[in-house]
Amino acid sequence: MTRYSWSLLAAIIAASLATSCSHKNAAAPLPKPTVFGSAIVESSGGKQMAQTGSLLPQPVVVQVNDDQNNGIAGALVELEAAPGVTFDPAYGLTDSSGQFTTNVSLGGMAGRYQLTAFTFDKSHKRVELTLQEIALGYQQTLGRRFNDQYCDRCHNPESTVERVSNYDNLEVKPHPFTEGDTLNKMTDADLTAIITYGGPALNKSALMPAWGNTLSKTDIQALISYIRAVADPPSRNSEPHYSKN
Given the rule CB under 6 A, which of 14-22, 28-36, 200-208, 237-245 is the region that contacts ligand HEC?
Answer: 200-208
Residue 170 sits in the site that holds ligand HEC (CB under 6 A): yes
Residue 174 sits in the site that holds ligand HEC (CB under 6 A): yes
Residue 154 sits in the site that holds ligand HEC (CB under 6 A): yes
Identity of the residue, 62 or 215, whose beta carbon is nearer to ligand HEC in the bound complex: 215
What are the residue ranges of helices labelled H in the chain? 3-27, 138-146, 152-155, 180-183, 188-197, 217-230
The number of angstroms, rounded, from the C-alpha of 123 to the middle of its chain's C-alpha atoms is 31
Angle at 94 (CA atoms; ends 93, 95), nearest 5 degrees: 115
Binding mask 88-127 for ligand HEC (x = CB under 6 A): ----------------------------------------
**Contacts of ligand HEC in 223-242 (CB under 6 A):** 223
Strands 126-136 and 49-51, by their bridges, are: parallel
Instruction: Report the alpha-carbon distance of residue 65 to residue 61 in Å, rounded.
Output: 13
Identity of the residue, 39 or 154, whose beta carbon is nearer to ligand HEC in the bound complex: 154
**Contacts of ligand HEC in 127-146 (CB under 6 A):** 146
Strands 241-242 and 111-120, by their bridges, are: parallel
Instruction: Report the alpha-carbon distance of residue 48 to residue 43 in Å, rounded.
Output: 13
| Residue 45 backbone class (left: φ over 0; alpha: ψ -120 to 50; beta: rest) | left
Instruction: Report the alpha-carbon distance of residue 36 to residue 122 in Å, rounded.
Output: 5
Identity of the residue, 69 or 187, whose beta carbon is nearer to ligand HEC in the bound complex: 187
Interface with ligand HEC (CB under 6 A), residue from 86, 114, 196, 205: 205
Coil/strand/helix, residue 141: helix
Residue 195 sits in the site that holds ligand HEC (CB under 6 A): yes
Contact footprint for ligand HEC (CB under 6 A)? 146, 150-151, 153-155, 166, 170, 172, 174-175, 182, 191, 194-195, 199, 204-205, 207-209, 211, 223
